[in-house]
Structure 1
Amino acid sequence: MTNRPWGTRRTALTRTAFIAAPLCMLAYGVIRLSDPDHGPGLTWTSGHIALIAGALLFAAIFLGLLRLSKPTTSAARLSIQAATLLGLVGVVAVTAQGVMTSLSDSAPTTGPGWTGSSRAFRATRA
């Protein structure tokens, strides 16, 4: 491995993220659409792992775009920072949703701890 300065590594991560983040989101969509059960299981979990990875890579993109921006006025600087903040809030929300949804497979489907997982929902609709 070459000994590159930290700034170059961040740039390489951002460049990689520009390709990998949309591919992870595409993988999530393909996995979810190919799942005949549309519920907890291996396909469900792997799809949500792709979703979480894509969201986290988008965080790298947002931060990389913030570093690349060269605002000349305080209003431009404020709007760029606000857009980055909103993007990062979205990343946190999507990541939290992905984690909670991927963990729903281990949730009980009856009893006092029941959370209404899709497996139980499908059973009541059948």
Structure 2
Amino acid sequence: MLILSILITCPFIIFGLLFWGFKKLKKDKNRAVRFASDVTTFFLLFSIQKIVFLLFDYDVRVLPLIGAVVIIIIFLVIERLSGEQYEVSKALKKSWRLIFILLASIYVFAILGFVIMKIIELIQ
């Protein structure tokens, strides 16, 4: 249980381990990044909720999940309206990778915001 808590709180440990392992196994850096980011996205969905609550004492419970579902729906609608062959898997891959980028950015900004807040508190 402690290991799961650590991995949810620090999802970039998962990214690093998966990237390193997949790169050693397959010898393909691009596929390793894609695989590691796909798995890490799942952990980031829960990590954002936990880290925002731990750092700012603010409960965002389902907001990351709702945001992810909205992004997936938007990508599916765009794929459907594109006029080309409708490929659900293509739209899901694109949306999942965008969700990774957004959640990773939110995670980093939350940590940076907390550090800046603590520095300001120490200065005053």
If the length of structure 2 is used for normalisation, what is the TM-score? Answer: 0.34
Structure of higher CA gyration radius = 1
